[in-house]
Every structure is written in C-alpha cells, then in structure tokens.
Amino acid sequence: MPQPPSLAAQGRLVFRLLAFVVILGGIGLSAILARDAALTRLQAEAMAAAGARVQVLQSTLSQQRAVVAILADDDTVRAALARGGLTGHEAVSAKLDRLRAETAGAVIYLLDAGGTAIAASNWDLPDSFVGANYAFRSYFTEALRDGTALQFALGTVSHRPGLYLSHAVDRAGVVVVKVEFDGLEAAWAEVPDQTWVTDGTGAVVISSDPGARFAPLPDPGPGRLAVSLPAGPPGWTLTHAVPTAPALQQALAAGGIAGTLLFMAALGLDRLLRARLRARARMEAEAASRAALEAAVAERTRDLQDEMEERRRAEQRLAGMQADLVQANKLATLGQVTAGLAHEVNQPLATIRLLAENALALMPKRGPKDVADNLASIVRMSERIGQITTELRGFARKATGEIRPVSLREVLEASVLLTASRRRAEGAEIALPDIPETTLVRVEGVRLEQVLVNLIQNAQEALAGQPGARIAIGFHETPTTYELTVADNGPGLPPQIAAQLFTPFATSKPGGLGLGLVIAQDILRDFGGSLTHEPGPQGATFRLSLPR
C-alpha cells in the first residue's frame, strides 16, 4: 500500500509550485515591463527624429521668407514695378535667378498689381513665367491684402507641387518664391520610417511617400507608432511613424533573458552560484550599457558633424547674400549723394567755362600773364573734379573680398567726402581726428568705407532738425588695434531700441529694413574686429575696433 508523502515532501512540492507560479509571473511581468520600456524608448526616438525634421523644414521656410522680404525692399525690384511692362526685365530677372541659385529655391518671380509676371528667374527657359498672369492665385490676392501670404499648390506650368511664399511691394506688386521639397522627401524616403506634413485642411503636402501627397493623412496601422509636432506655417503638422516590430522583438528577447535569470536565481543551489550569476548579469548589463553609450556617442558625433557642415554651408550662403546686400546699399547711398555730387561738379565746371571765356577775351589786351593765371585756375578746378569722381568710382565698385593693409586716414576721408553734401544741406558739423599717414589696418577698404558711411549717415539722420548738430569722430590706438568712435549730440537711443540694435530686421526707421548695423557688425567681424554701441549721457556713440 503506497505511503502518503511526508510533510517535508509536501512542503517542497508546495514550494516548487509557488516558485513555478512566481517564475511564470516574473517572466510575464518582465515581458510587460520590457515591452513598455521598448515602446517608451521608441516614442522618444520618434519624437527626436520628428523634431529634427521640423527644424530642417522651418529652417528652409525661414530662409525663403527672408528672400521675399529682402526683395520686397530692393530698389531694383521697386524700379521695375514703377517702370511697368515687360520691356527691360532682363536685369531684374537675372538678379532673381542669381538669388534663386544661392538660396536653393525653385523659382522667384515678380508680379505687378494686375498679377502679370514682369520678371522671373526662369526668364531664359522655354517655360518662362514672364508675361503669364497669376491674379487667380490666392498667394497673390492675399499678399496684396495682408502684406504676406503662402499657398501649397501644383504649378500651372511645371505641374510640380510646391509652397508659394509671397510678399507685397508697397501694394504695387508682389514678390513670389516657390519652394519644392523633392530633396527633403528623398532624404526621408531613405529610411524605413514614414513622414507626412499636413496643412490646415488635413491634406498631405509633403511626404516620404510621394503617392500620399494631396490625400488625407493615411492610417499608420497597428504595426507603427506615430508622433505629431507643429511644423512651419500655422496649421501645418508633421507626423512621423516608426515600425514597432524591431523594438518589440528586442523587448521579447530581453523578457526571455530576464525570465531565465529569474528562474536560475530561484532554483540556485548555493550562494556562490547565485553570486556568480549576479556578477555575470552585472557584467553583461554594464557591457550592454557601455556599448549603448558608445553607440549613442558615435551617432551624436555624426549628427554634430552633419550640423557643423550644414552651418558652414549656411554661413557661406549668408556671406554671399551679405555681399549682394552691401553692393545694393552702396548703390542706394550713391543715389543720396547725387544731388551733392551735381553741386560739386557743376560749380567747378561753371568756373572753368567762365575763366576760359575770360582767357579768350583778355588775350589781345592784357598779355600772357593773365592768360597763364586763368589757365592755372582751370587746372585747379579740373583737379577738384578728378578727386570727386575718383572717390565716387572707388565707392561704387563692388567689394573684392581681399583683406590687406589699408590707410585708415584715406578710408575715413573718403567716407566723410561721400556724406558731405547731405551734411552741408542739413547744417551738421563734423569733427575729425588727426590720424597719422602711417596708420594701417588689415581690412577691405571698400567694405570699411561702407561701415563708416552707414554710421555717419545714421548720425546725420538722428541730428535732423537739431540745433547745434555735431558729429565727433575719435581715434585711439592699443597695442593690437586701432579704434574709431562715431558720436553725435542728438537725442540718443531709447533702451528698447538699443537692446535690439544688431538684430536682423529690427528697425525704428519708417520703411527701414533693419540690416545696416547687422551687416556692418558682420563686416567688422570678418576683419577680426568688432562694432559696439556705447551708451552715454547724450546722443549715440558707436565704437569700431580694427586690427592693426
């Protein structure tokens, strides 16, 4: 007759059953925790990837918004709208084409008040926009009404989708840039993740799958995890979906390993074995952590290298745009000094004519001495004309980019001469320092003239209508630099204006672009110097530091 199991055997059985239940529960709990951790990590990675895509999209749109904003205040564009018609559009179209190439836009074009394209960057191509009418486009009508507008649509000529950014030009016309996202979509399509950008209506406008464009946002399905972030224009949303299968497979593997370790720990024979198992588990976890950390560092290093390369390319594009803006500002300045130049040239010419007539009249009566005196006066007047025209030609030529030793005194004198006519008309006085002829600075002379002209003109504008208006230019040298100060005795700058002096597009001048001081500061930085504003009890003072 079989004997019933002893209490010890029954206890061991109960313990084994309990251990088995605990082990099964531990394995299940480990699998759940591993799955939750994997999904949490996957969601964080998806959010990071979506944020990076949003940053790239916003950077592209910000650059193109700046393009139309700058062109809307460009003198060449305004002149083309004032002239009207299609005749003579080639110069404006060529300028638009150069800017399009530098900023990677699809096409830039200028519409008059009736919606007809009077200039376009594709003017020399078979599908040129010149002469076409786009008054039916909402980006045209809304820009005339609100100042700016955007619209995502298919091109009527190219039949390619793109985002149209527009900016009104004093209600006389509209500047439009079309941005295509083929390169961005191709980059997104290289990875298994899926990305869609939808507009305010919920329609897809940019996608890693071109077939989804203009359709409603597709359902990512149960096998994908999707995250969404605001992107670019108001109402736009970027949705990024990643596959969950690889992460869940890793979670199941991790749960199995955890269950095995739990089983071995529960059924371990002695403390030494358990200690060895724990030590091995710690070593494996540390190795995995180190490997993960090294992989994360390597990935972040690659990302930083890519970001640095992109920043370098952006700086190169910005430098090219700055050079064009500097040239445009010079041409605007030439327009301001035209009246003074005409006065300076006409007076000597009138004197030359009078003296020449006197010479002809006096030759039979008073002899060679008087003739010689008159001819000498003619030579002096001619030399004065030569000096004025030489300085004007030197200022009008485009900067060469060559940094070399330049006489600081000559640059300052040329800048003062170029602003003399307006200063005399407004009655402002200027005090100049005594700078030795041997004072040389390592700069590009034409660009330094541009900075000084900008600062002197700003001071003259601040002094308009002020009694006793005075501009004082100071000179100081240190062991490594020469320093100039441009100060006026005007009303000075309010704190809120002084706080954003060197911020792009921030200006207190009606119709101003807010780029003069920004460009001037960048020019000084290119030379290895600096431009700063120094608050004082009266007026405004700017300090230029230049390398010796």
Q: Are residues 226 and 82 in the same domain?
A: yes
Give dist(CA 396, CA 334) in Å, integer: 7
Could you give the dihedral angle defined by the CA atoms of residues 201, 206, 208 and 214, in that order, rounded to the nearest 10 degrees? 50
Measured distance CA(385)–CA(379) in Å, rounded: 10
**Per-residue pLDDT for 496 more than 90?**
no
**Which band of pLDDT confidence, cut at 50, 70 and 90, is reported for residue 189?**
confident
Count the neighbouring beta carbons within 10 Å of the beta carbon of residue 153: 15
Q: Is the pLDDT of residue 51 over 70?
A: yes
Q: Give 164's contacts (C-beta < 8 A, 6+ positions apart).
A: 137, 139, 150, 151, 152, 153, 176, 177, 178, 179
CATH number at residue 543: 3.30.565.10
Q: Which position has the higher pLDDT, 493 or 232?
A: 493
Element (H, E) at 151: strand 148-154
pLDDT at 216 over 50: yes
| Residue 389: per-residue pLDDT | 56
The answer to whether residues 113 and 143 touch, using CB atoms and an 8 Å cutoff, is no
**Res 309 pLDDT > 70:** yes
**Is 314's pLDDT higher than 60?**
yes
Predicted local distance difference test score (pLDDT) of residue 145: 94
Residue type present at position 87: T
**Which has the closest alpha carbon to 415: 447, 381, 461?**
447
Total tally of structural domains belonging to the chain: 2
User: pLDDT higher for 449 or 84?
Assistant: 449
Residue 445 belongs to some domain of the structure:
yes
The total of other beta-carbon atoms located within 10 Å of residue 21's CB is 10
Does 363 have pLDDT greater than 80? no
Domain membership of residue 262 as a residue range: 12-267
- Break the chain down into helix, strand, coil percent, rounded to 5: 55, 20, 25
CA distance 79 to 523: 28
d(CA 97, CA 392): 29
27 has a pLDDT exceeding 80: no
Is 400 a residue whose pLDDT tops 70? no
Q: Greater confidence, 17 or 120?
A: 120
Could you tell me which residue, 53 or 253, shows the higher pLDDT? 53
Average pLDDT over residues 480-502: 88
What is the per-residue pLDDT for 366? 58
Confidence of residue 483 (pLDDT cuts 50, 70, 90): very high
- 459 neighbors 424 (Cβ within 8 angstroms): no
Structural domain contains residue 375: no
- pLDDT recorded at residue 455: 93
Does the residue 189 lie in any domain?
yes
Compute the average pLDDT of residues 402-407: 89
Q: In the predicted model, what is the mean pLDDT of the chain? A: 82
Q: Of 242, 267, 292, which residue sits at a domain end?
A: 267
Residue 276 lies in a domain: no
* pLDDT score of 196: 86
Higher pLDDT, 400 or 34: 34
Quick: pLDDT tens for 221-233: 788 889 899 987 8
Residue 456 identity: I
Q: Which two tokens stand for residue 210?
A: 């071109």
Higher-pLDDT residue of 513, 430: 430
pLDDT for 376: 67
In sequence order, which ranges of 5-121 are alpha helices (DSSP H)?
7-72, 75-83, 90-103
Residue 5 lies in a domain: no
Give residue 503's pLDDT band: very low, low, confident or very high (50, 70, 90): confident
Mean pLDDT of 508-531: 83
Contact residues for 305 (Cβ-Cβ < 8 A; gap 6+)? none
Last residue of a domain, one of 212, 244, 267: 267
Residue 335's pLDDT is: 47
Winning range, highest mean pLDDT, from 4-18, 70-84, 341-355? 70-84
Tokens linked to 76: 């060449």
Percent of the chain with pLDDT over 70: 77
CA 496 to chain centroid, in Å, comes to 23
Report pLDDT for 473.
Answer: 96
The CATH number of residue 235's host domain is: 3.30.450.20
Q: 234: left (phi > 0), else alpha (psi -120 to 50), else beta?
A: beta
Give the tokens for residue 537.
């009890």
- 356 pLDDT above the threshold of 60: yes
Last residue of a domain, one of 267, 295, 314: 267
The answer to the question of residue 150 being in a domain is yes
Question: Lowest-pLDDT range, 307-316, 327-336, 378-387?
Answer: 327-336
Residue 349 is assigned to a structural domain of this protein: no
With CA atoms as reference, report the closest residue to 144 among 120, 109, 113: 113
Distance CA 28, CA 264 (A): 16
Query: Is residue 448, in this structure, part of any structural domain at all?
Result: yes
Query: Helices 90-103 and 75-83: crossing angle, nearest 10°?
Result: 140
Residue with the larger pLDDT of the pair 15 and 492:
492
